[in-house]
Amino acid sequence: MSKYQQIFERNKKWIAEKKATNKQFFEHLAKGQDPEFLYIGCSDSRVTAEEMMGLEPGDVFVHRNIANVISNSDLNTMSVIEYAVGHLDVKHIIVCGHYFCGGVKAAMQSQDLGLLNPWLRNIRDVYRLHKEELAAVKDEHARYERLVELNVEEQCINVIKTAVVQRTYIQKGYPTVHGWVFDIRSGKLIDLKLDFEEKLHGIQEIYNLGASK
C-alpha cells in the first residue's frame, strides 16, 4: 500500500479510537467550535500544532505559513486574526517559531529565491531591526537561533498592531499575545515570556487603533 493510500486506513483507525474514548466525539465537533487559543506557527512538517500542545480537535484555531510571519498586507493572516479575535473570541494568541527553521535560515543568506523573496523580506526586516545585537553574536548557529527568537518577538508585535487585537483588549481585557519557540531537538516548547502589556503600550504610542470604534 502506498503512503498515500495508508492515510485513509489510518483515518479509519483514528475514527475508531476517538469513538472508543468518546462515543459522541464527532457529533460534538459538528455542533461548532469554541477554541480558546489562536496558534500561528511555521508550516514546517516537524512542528505540529495540536499534537505538541497535547490539545484536541476544537481546542485551537490554527494558521501556519513559512517562518510564522504576520504581515500587514497578507489578507490570509489578517483574516485569521480578525476572525479568531472578533468572532471566535479567543483568549490567547500564540506566535510559535522553531529552531532549525528553513525560512529563517534562507533569510540569513544572500540569495535570490524568486517568489520567496518578498515573503522572506519580512524576516530580513527583523534582521535589520536587530542588526547590532545579531552582529555581536559571533557563532553563526547561535545567531540563527537568536534570529528565530527575534522573529517571533517581532511577529507578536505585528499581531498587537492590528486594530481588532487592540480594540478587543481594551474592551474585554484579552486576548494576550504570547511568543514561543519550539525546540525540535528536545520537543520542548519555550515561552519567551514577552511582556504583553509593555509591548502593547509601546505599540500604542505609534500604532494606536484601539479607540477607532
| 158/166 with CB nearer Co ion | 158
3-state secondary structure of 2: coil
Minimum CB separation of residue 13 from Co ion in Å reads 29
Minimum CB separation of residue 130 from Co ion in Å reads 18
Minimum CB separation of residue 66 from Co ion in Å reads 7
Rounded distance between C-alpha atoms, residue 6 and residue 148, angstroms: 35
Rounded distance between C-alpha atoms, residue 199 and residue 162, angstroms: 13
What stretches of the chain adopt beta strand conformation (E)?
A: 37-42, 60-65, 92-98, 176-183, 188-191
Rounded distance between C-alpha atoms, residue 28 and residue 50, angstroms: 18
Rounded distance between C-alpha atoms, residue 126 and residue 95, angstroms: 15
Nearest to 163 by CA among 75, 68, 78, 41: 78
Nearest to 43 by CA among 113, 114, 116, 111: 116
- Which entry of 46, 128, 141, 201 is annotated as an active-site residue? 46
Minimum CB separation of residue 168 from Co ion in Å reads 28
Could you confirm whether 44 is annotated as catalytic? yes
Residues that bind Co ion (CB under 5 A): 42, 44, 101, 103
Could you confirm whether 63 is annotated as catalytic? no
Q: Let me know: does 125 contact 145? Beta carbons within 8 Å.
A: no
Could you confirm whether 64 is annotated as catalytic? no
| 42/159 with CB nearer Co ion | 42
Q: Let me know: does 167 contact 213? Beta carbons within 8 Å.
A: yes
Could you confirm whether 112 is annotated as catalytic? no
- Which entry of 63, 96, 101, 156 is annotated as an active-site residue? 101
- Which entry of 42, 63, 96, 156 is annotated as an active-site residue? 42
**What are 98's strand-pairing partners?**
182
| 52/88 with CB nearer Co ion | 52
State which amino acid sits at residue 132: E
| 80/163 with CB nearer Co ion | 80
Could you confirm whether 146 is annotated as catalytic? no
| 101/163 with CB nearer Co ion | 101
Minimum CB separation of residue 171 from Co ion in Å reads 34
Residues annotated as part of the active site: 42, 44, 46, 98, 101
